[in-house]
Chains A and B, each alone.
Chain A
Amino acid sequence: GAVVSQHPSRVICKSGTSVKIECRSLDFQATTMFWYRQFPKKSLMLMATSNEGSKATYEQGVEKDKFLINHASLTLSTLTVTSAHPEDSSFYICSARDGNGAGETQYFGPGTRLLVL
């Protein structure tokens, strides 16, 4: 149980385009999901907290107009990187919090590798 999926697993796009990444909790409902980014050989950096039915909360220094987050249902959150630039190239990882049974443990998706040309 407690599986989180992400789609796509990797994406290449041109500079200036927008890219949408989906995060789904497959076997549990997640009122809260989280989005991270990770640069090569670095640790995960929390970008934002996504709450179902309300606006996301962004960490300091993360541009909310550039990284649009929508959490429309209890099993789906999306991250849209708008007007992507090469410096947005990174590994984007989502997690979903399971509030039942496992003591509010976060389960992570497999990640999405974004390359902006």
Chain B
Amino acid sequence: DAKTTQPPSMDCAEGRAANLPCNHSTISGNEYVYWYRQIHSQGPQYIIHGLKNNETNEMASLIITEDRKSSTLILPHATLRDTAVYYCIATFRTGNQFYFGTGTSLTVIP
């Protein structure tokens, strides 16, 4: 599985868009990018995933660069409940073990 690199922490003002970057420069053509978040003392929550096209759902948008070496998770209007550790994982779709990196601790500020 490709290794991912994320900034350790970020702050975002409530109501603003939170843009969380992830580098996965060694990603292979068949590896997907998954995003999860973990609120303190809970299990990780699935957010979104994609292969090469940008994706959007009710929670977030995922922007993947054309060369697929990096991606950005966008929370369009951050709320205090979005304060969590966000993990970016690059893995194959089938037989996909997840190896978690250190993630980004996002703090949404009132």
In this complex, how many residues of chain A approach chain B with their Cβ under 8 Å: the count is 25
Residues of B within 8 A of A108 (CB): 36, 43-46
Considering the complex, give the chain A residue whose CB is closest to the CB of B48: A105
CA distance A105 to B49 in the complex (A): 8
Secondary structure of the B contact surface, majority rule: loop
Which of A12-20, A42-50, A68-76, A82-90 lies at the interface with chain B? A42-50
Which of B11-19, B66-74, B98-106 lies at the interface with chain A? B98-106
CB of B98 within 8 A of CB of A111, answer no
Give the contacts of B13-49 with A (CB-CB under 8 A). 32, 34, 36, 38, 41-46, 49
**Interface range on chain B (Cβ under 8 Å from partner):** 20 to 34
CA distance A95 to B42 in the complex (A): 12
Contact with B along A1-39 (1 / 0, CB 8 A): 010101000000000000000000000000000101000
Considering the complex, give the chain B residue whose CB is closest to the CB of A6: B43
Across the interface, B100 reaches (CB within 8 A) one of A45, A102, A104, A110, namely: A45
Considering the complex, give the chain B residue whose CB is closest to the CB of A106: B98
CB of B42 within 8 A of CB of A111, answer yes
Interchain residue pairs with CB less than 8 A apart (19) = A4-B43, A36-B100, A43-B103, A44-B87, A45-B100, A46-B99, A95-B44, A95-B98, A102-B46, A103-B32, A103-B49, A105-B34, A105-B46, A105-B49, A106-B46, A106-B96, A108-B44, A108-B46, A113-B41
- Enumerate chain A interface residues (CB-CB to B < 8 A): 2, 4, 6, 34, 36, 43-46, 49, 91, 93, 95, 97, 102-111, 113
